[in-house]
């Protein structure tokens, strides 16, 4: 049997039973000196094992009880855009070697919709510019999302019932030892489709928008649920773990719980997928298990500060507001404003995530249920992605903020120094953020964004060495125009006086 590198080998364990839905270290895989022991998971009436080979060659496997063994051949993946995405300093890279720049979207309850609606979502994603999607394991209950799902991740405990429209209070009625195979098969199908489309699945494990009691699982139930996710889903190469959406709102969980969850995933996931946790107000404090920062915030100018506070790890604004027209402030941005926030994030050295919330009488909003996109921001996001992808493997970074010298020696001015002492740390941070340009640069490219500023001309600082071409970009019209060639050093660039203009400089010699 042949399996391509980073794809999935699945083994059915015959005649094996267990007291719960997970059997730890059920099968050991070996390739020369490389070994990996993986857990088995209950799928219907039988246990199965999934394994993602990260090294080409012949793999041997043996079950823990010695009853099953065999070999398979892992053929090498030729593409460099393959395998799990890893955090590398302040950016991301595929295990295969190529840069990964996330352009995400959000469809929280995608897996809890009808087969027809989920298929429509998959078809929309196939044509959209997004290479990451955030969605929930558990069903969601809030405005525009009030229906009961067809299937739940687990069967109910004996003697427990769910009444339509009523809230389950205080105790989880679901038996986490009895996964409902119908639900998990549907989730498997969605993950498989996303992998084929080259889309990363940012899977949200816990959330507070609940009336079914899933948010009230005991600690023991939570840990078993996480181990089941690792055993069943960990072998998907396109998987990310998000501990929670708006973790502060989940009152049943404390800091010690979140740390236990993050530590479990970091230690027991054989493939070390990316791990984050999403906030509503305050970002979670830096932890060893955290691979990147997942933020809800409109304060995109704080990206350089967050990077400094979190040791330089990648920063994703996974919720900056949505294009739409619903009554909630977070859900009625214009397409132009959402595209602006994408450019703003990227040119501050971070990344951004799309969402769409246009009111519909059938309550099928993309952000909640998927279906079709009705807004215009996706076109502008696709354009930005195309600009960045032209830079190839050139790592573009924002300049580091300097707390000692925010503006060419200004701290030596005694009046300024006194004002800074009086205003305190908060104002000091604001000054540093305002002085940082919206600019990222690598060895062969410089990308600078002017945002809502609209001068008639500006100066662009380029390296003295080499020869550079400068393009003026209209991010709203999605157009590019070469305005300077064979230049270097600081150059004057004529502009149009329009908002949301960007400049791209490319080294040509």
Q: What is the mean pLDDT of each run of 10 residues along the chain (509 residues)?
A: 96 89 97 96 96 98 95 97 96 98 98 98 98 98 95 96 83 96 98 98 97 96 98 98 97 94 98 98 96 95 90 97 97 98 97 98 98 98 98 92 47 68 70 78 97 96 96 98 98 97 98
Determine the pLDDT at residue 15.
Answer: 86
Determine the pLDDT at residue 407.
Answer: 43
Contact 166, 146 (CB under 8 A): no
Determine the pLDDT at residue 165.
Answer: 77
Sign of CA dihedral 151, 157, 158, 162: negative
Determine the pLDDT at residue 432.
Answer: 65
Determine the pLDDT at residue 405.
Answer: 44
Rounded CA-CA distance 355/363 in Å is: 15
Classify 345 as helix, strand or coil. Answer: helix
Classify 337 as helix, strand or coil. Answer: helix
Helix (H) or strand (E) segment spanning residue 87: strand 85-88
The residue whose two tokens read 């489309």 is 197
Contact 402, 408 (CB under 8 A): no
Task: Give the C-alpha distances (Å, rounded to integers) separating 454 from 136, 380, 436, 490.
Answer: 40, 19, 17, 19
Determine the pLDDT at residue 399.
Answer: 82
Determine the pLDDT at residue 420.
Answer: 67
Contact 331, 375 (CB under 8 A): no
Rounded CA-CA distance 83/265 in Å is: 18
pTM of the model: 0.95
Determine the pLDDT at residue 126.
Answer: 98
Contact residues for 332 (Cβ-Cβ < 8 A; gap 6+): 322, 324, 325, 326, 357
Determine the pLDDT at residue 1.
Answer: 87
Determine the pLDDT at residue 164.
Answer: 80
Determine the pLDDT at residue 412.
Answer: 61
Contact 53, 59 (CB under 8 A): yes
Rounded CA-CA distance 367/374 in Å is: 11
């Amino acid at each position: 049997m042949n399996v391509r590198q980073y794809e999935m080998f699945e083994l059915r364990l015959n005649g094996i039973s267990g007291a719960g839905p997970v059997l730890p270290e059920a099968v050991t895989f070996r390739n020369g000196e490389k070994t990996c022991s993986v857990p088995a998971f209950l799928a219907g009436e039988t246990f199965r094992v999934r394994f993602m080979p990260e090294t080409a060659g012949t793999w041997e496997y043996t079950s823990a009880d010695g009853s099953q063994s065999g070999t398979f051949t892992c053929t090498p993946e030729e593409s460099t855009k393959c395998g799990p995405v890893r955090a590398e300093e302040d950016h991301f890279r595929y295990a295969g070697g190529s840069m990964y720049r996330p352009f995400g979207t959000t469809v929280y309850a995608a897996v809890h919709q009808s087969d027809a609606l989920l298929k429509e979502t998959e078809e929309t994603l196939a044509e959209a510019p997004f290479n990451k999607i955030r969605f929930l394991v558990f069903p969601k209950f809030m405005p525009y999302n009030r229906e009961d799902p067809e299937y739940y991740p687990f069967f109910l405990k004996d003697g427990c019932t769910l009444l339509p429209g009523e809230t389950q209070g205080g105790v989880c009625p679901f038996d986490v030892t009895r996964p409902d195979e119908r639900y998990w098969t549907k989730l498997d199908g969605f993950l498989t489709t996303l992998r084929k489309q080259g889309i990363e699945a940012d899977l949200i494990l816990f959330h507070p928008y609940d009336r079914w009691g899933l948010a009230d699982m005991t600690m023991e139930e939570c840990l078993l649920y996480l181990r089941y996710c690792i055993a069943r889903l960990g072998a998907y190469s396109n998987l990310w773990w998000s501990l929670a959406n708006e973790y502060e709102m989940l009152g049943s969980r404390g800091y010690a719980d979140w740390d236990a969850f993050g530590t479990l995933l970091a230690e027991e996931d054989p493939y070390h997928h990316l791990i984050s946790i999403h906030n509503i107000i305050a970002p979670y404090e830096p932890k060893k298990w955290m691979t990147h920062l997942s933020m809800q915030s409109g304060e995109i100018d704080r990206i350089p500060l967050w990077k400094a506070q979190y040791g330089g790890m990648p920063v994703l604004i996974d919720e900056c507001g949505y294009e739409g027209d619903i009554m909630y402030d977070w859900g009625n941005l214009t397409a132009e404003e959402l595209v602006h926030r994408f450019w703003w994030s990227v040119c501050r050295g971070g990344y951004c995530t799309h969402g769409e919330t246009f009111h519909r009488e059938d309550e099928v909003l993309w952000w909640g249920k998927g279906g079709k996109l009705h807004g215009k921001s996706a076109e502008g996001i696709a354009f930005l992605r195309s600009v960045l992808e032209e830079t190839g493997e050139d790592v573009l970074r924002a300049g580091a903020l300097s707390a000692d010298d925010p503006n060419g020696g200004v701290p030596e001015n005694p009046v300024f120094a006194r004002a800074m002492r009086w205003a305190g740390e908060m104002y000091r941070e604001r000054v540093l953020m305002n002085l940082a340009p919206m600019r990222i640069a690598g060895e062969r490219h410089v990308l600078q964004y002017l945002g809502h500023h609209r001068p008639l001309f500006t100066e662009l600082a380029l390296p003295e060495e080499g020869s550079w071409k400068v393009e003026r970009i209209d991010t709203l019209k999605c157009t590019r125009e070469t305005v300077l060639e064979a230049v270097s050093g600081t150059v004057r660039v004529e502009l149009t006086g329009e908002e949301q203009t960007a400049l791209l400089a490319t080294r040509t010699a």
